[in-house]
Chain A
Amino acid sequence: MAVTARTTVMNNVEAVRHTLHQALTNDPNTLILGEDVGARGNVFLITKGFLEEFGAARVIDTPLAEACIVGVAVGMAMEGLRPIAEIQFADFIYPAFNQIVGEAAKTRYRSNGDYTCPLVIRTPYGGGVRGALSHSVSIEALFYHVPGLKIAAPSFPADIKGLLTAAIEDPDPVLFLEHKKTYRSVKGEVPDGRYVVPLGKADVKREGEQLSVVSYGLYVHQALDAAARLAEEGISAEVIDLRSIRPMDRTTILQSVRKTHKLLIIHEDHKFGGIGAEIAAMVAEEALFELDAPIRRLCGPDVPAMGYAQTLENAFMISTERMADAMREMVRF
């Protein structure tokens, strides 16, 4: 990590802001573009003051056109700039799907390395904030399938800074997912100065012996709470924060499963076709004879959206109690 021991306590949204500020200060090729990022300073105030500090050439309020935001960013990146594009909510990213999957992800490959696309697309995702159909979605399953793309989904402020810095400096396109419910609710120590958390590395946030729990986003925090509660019952669960969806750190996952022999994957996104399916298949392929229980996935329901009514949202989101129950059950299996 950083050479300096100095840290600052900040929440996740502050960590994003701090990192973007650092990037724009250090690299004149970086710029930010998106809807309402300039004068408004972003709908979560992430870029508040940036327009005044860095100027209208570097903090661009775009027209309301997601495909255009990403497409223009692709062109900028191909021509040598380092654009950081924002999609205001992950729910609005679909019009830009081709630009991300068909263009950005393929630029290097289809030109055999002649053209590259060092682009970051940041977007807030996830539910539990009464956001309903269009402010709650998880999108990682739609994109992690795509070679040529990278995807990060950190949960802690120190990881956010490290991974966002890595993403901005990465020579390839990175989709940077920020769970909006953790923006203000998660606080932590963040080292000062520039440092990088490499893409493709998970982090064991809590060591344990009897069960491997793999998660990302908001649910890492809940899983850690559940594990702490279970420790009082004498149950020892290991919690792995994936941090990176693509590339995904299979070494850390397998190492953990070889120790505990049981795997529980928890994610907010729908179970069917969610990234837990890929993890489960990989572990079954690589470590079948380490498994002392079926791999279990505790995931979002297979419904098109998270409802607005509190009861419907609660039915979609997974409570810490449910996580603890699943963990307990698996340990006792």
Chain B
Amino acid sequence: MLLQRQLDNRGFQLNRQGKIPFALGSEGHEAAQTGAATALIRGKDILVPYYRDLGLCLGFGFPPSGVFNSMFARAQDGSGGRQFPNHYSDKAIGLFSVSSIIAAHCTHAVGAAFAFVYRGQTGRAVLCSTGEGATSEGEWHEAVNFAAVRKLPIVFFVENNQYAISTPQAAQMAIADVADKAPGYGIPGIACDGFDPITVYAAMKEALDRARCGGGPSIVEAKVYRFLSHSTDDDDRTYRSPQEVRDRRKCDPVPRFERVLLQAGIINDEELDALKADVLRETNEATDASESLPMPEAGELYGNVYEGAHEPWR
């Protein structure tokens, strides 16, 4: 959670330094994503995230170096510097490559889950993650429906942060809980406190385990809040009051969980400080290392359009 917050901040710092043109933060999502990621089994499960899932990806094994290679659009980035930032992917760890089209990845996640069943593999599940806005897309519906009909090993994770850029949830759907859509597909759905990583972990573990042993799909909704604007290209003051944001900040999950850990005696102040220092060190090292890597060359333009040589009409 600390690493996620730190990497996020670093993105905005780099943007304000003029080093990167765009940054998109996930403040408010840390607990939900860390909790969910902890329930995933690395090397077995597949993660099909959306662009705000920095914590999910980190928790699934994606390294900070990859995060910065994406920000700086380095040649070594998983997409070769081709994708917009925040589109992390790595087939070796089961982290799917996705586009920026909202909910277009959901059917892909379903297809991957289908492949598990097709090959007779149990103990594996797919986590498909979206915001609440994505659930308005026809393709989210098509994906959930197909998964439900075929009883596929997939969990649809909805990080409900109340806003789809500027669209509040009330304008997105007529219901209060996305999880209430689940019975419409004949599958279980649960809404939980996205600011508490333990709660989310528990809900996600139950859902993933169900999927892994043939129990079919479910919807897990984590209630969170998006503290920042949608991205550096958005100004949230045009559609919500700063007062509202300040009020919701009081429940910021990162300091809240710090307090929980301190109070439970699991960690003390010195250890916490050391942890933060270590996170900062790791962030700095990763930033510097990535910044010194080369950009993709223009000569790579025609690579990987198809397998083998591409013969474009020039």
Direct contact between A and B judged by beta carbons closer than 8 A: yes
Residues of A within 8 A of B (CB): 31, 57, 62-63, 65, 67-68, 70-81, 83, 95, 98-99, 102-103, 106-116, 147-148, 150, 171-172, 200, 247, 250, 282
User: Is the C-beta of B101 less than 8 angstroms from some C-beta in chain A?
Assistant: yes
User: Is the C-beta of B106 less than 8 angstroms from some C-beta in chain A?
Assistant: yes
Known: A115-B96, A150-B306. A75 touches B118 (CB 8 A): no
Question: CA–CA, A72 to B109, complex, Å?
Answer: 7
User: A-B pairs with CB below 8 Å: how many?
Assistant: 138
Inter-chain contact A78/B149, CB cutoff 8 Å? no
Known: A63-B145, A98-B104, A103-B108. A80 touches B306 (CB 8 A): no
Query: In the complex, how many angstroms separate the beta carbon of A30 from the nearest chain B beta carbon?
Result: 11
The answer, among A57, A76, A109, A111, for a CB contact under 8 Å with B112, is: A76
Inter-chain contact A68/B142, CB cutoff 8 Å? yes
Inter-chain contact B99/A103, CB cutoff 8 Å? yes
The interface residues of chain A lying within 8 Å CB-to-CB of B116 are: 79
Inter-chain contact B149/A63, CB cutoff 8 Å? yes
Inter-chain contact B115/A65, CB cutoff 8 Å? no
Known: A79-B111, A114-B89. A147 touches B312 (CB 8 A): yes
The interface residues of chain A lying within 8 Å CB-to-CB of B110 are: 68, 71-72, 75
Chain B 86-112: CB-based contact to A (< 8 A → 1; otherwise 0): 010111000011010100101111111
Chain B 203-230: CB-based contact to A (< 8 A → 1; otherwise 0): 0000000000000000000000000000
Question: CA–CA, A80 to B82, complex, Å?
Answer: 23
Query: In the complex, how many angstroms separate the beta carbon of B220 from the nearest chain A beta carbon?
Result: 20
How many chain B residues have a CB neighbour from A under 8 Å?
A: 45
The answer, among A102, A109, A112, for a CB contact under 8 Å with B101, is: A102
- Closest 9 A/B residue pairs (Cβ): A75-B111, A71-B107, A112-B80, A75-B108, A68-B142, A111-B97, A79-B115, A76-B111, A113-B304
Chain B 298-309: CB-based contact to A (< 8 A → 1; otherwise 0): 000001111100
The interface residues of chain A lying within 8 Å CB-to-CB of B79 are: 110-112
Inter-chain contact A62/B146, CB cutoff 8 Å? yes
Known: A75-B108, A108-B307, A110-B97. A80 touches B145 (CB 8 A): no
Query: In the complex, how many angstroms separate the beta carbon of A231 from the nearest chain B beta carbon?
Result: 33
Question: CA–CA, A172 to B80, complex, Å?
Answer: 19
Inter-chain contact A111/B145, CB cutoff 8 Å? no
User: Is the C-beta of B232 less than 8 angstroms from some C-beta in chain A?
Assistant: no
Query: In the complex, how many angstroms separate the beta carbon of B154 from the nearest chain A beta carbon?
Result: 10
Inter-chain contact A63/B89, CB cutoff 8 Å? no
The interface residues of chain A lying within 8 Å CB-to-CB of B297 are: none
Inter-chain contact B114/A72, CB cutoff 8 Å? yes
Residues of B within 8 A of A (CB): 46, 48, 78-80, 82-83, 87, 89-91, 96-97, 99, 101, 104, 106-118, 138-139, 142-143, 145-146, 149, 303-307, 310-313
Closest chain A residue, CB of each to CB of B147: A72
Inter-chain contact A250/B107, CB cutoff 8 Å? no
Inter-chain contact A68/B139, CB cutoff 8 Å? yes
Question: CA–CA, A111 to B77, complex, Å?
Answer: 9
Question: CA–CA, A73 to B48, complex, Å?
Answer: 15
The interface residues of chain A lying within 8 Å CB-to-CB of B149 are: 63
Question: CA–CA, A109 to B303, complex, Å?
Answer: 8
Inter-chain contact A72/B313, CB cutoff 8 Å? no
Question: CA–CA, A114 to B91, complex, Å?
Answer: 6
**8 CB-based A-B contacts, threshold 8 Å:** A75-B110, A75-B115, A78-B97, A108-B306, A109-B305, A111-B97, A112-B304, A147-B312
The interface residues of chain A lying within 8 Å CB-to-CB of B312 are: 147
Inter-chain contact A67/B142, CB cutoff 8 Å? yes
The interface residues of chain A lying within 8 Å CB-to-CB of B89 are: 111, 114-115
Query: In the complex, how many angstroms separate the beta carbon of A138 from the nearest chain B beta carbon?
Result: 21
Query: In the complex, how many angstroms separate the beta carbon of B76 from the nearest chain A beta carbon?
Result: 10
Query: In the complex, how many angstroms separate the beta carbon of A167 from the nearest chain B beta carbon?
Result: 13
Inter-chain contact B145/A103, CB cutoff 8 Å? no
Query: In the complex, how many angstroms separate the beta carbon of A38 from the nearest chain B beta carbon?
Result: 13
Closest chain A residue, CB of each to CB of B145: A63
Question: CA–CA, A103 to B313, complex, Å?
Answer: 23
Question: CA–CA, A68 to B147, complex, Å?
Answer: 10
Inter-chain contact B115/A80, CB cutoff 8 Å? yes
The interface residues of chain B lying within 8 Å CB-to-CB of A200 are: 311
The answer, among A63, A80, A110, A148, for a CB contact under 8 Å with B83, is: A110
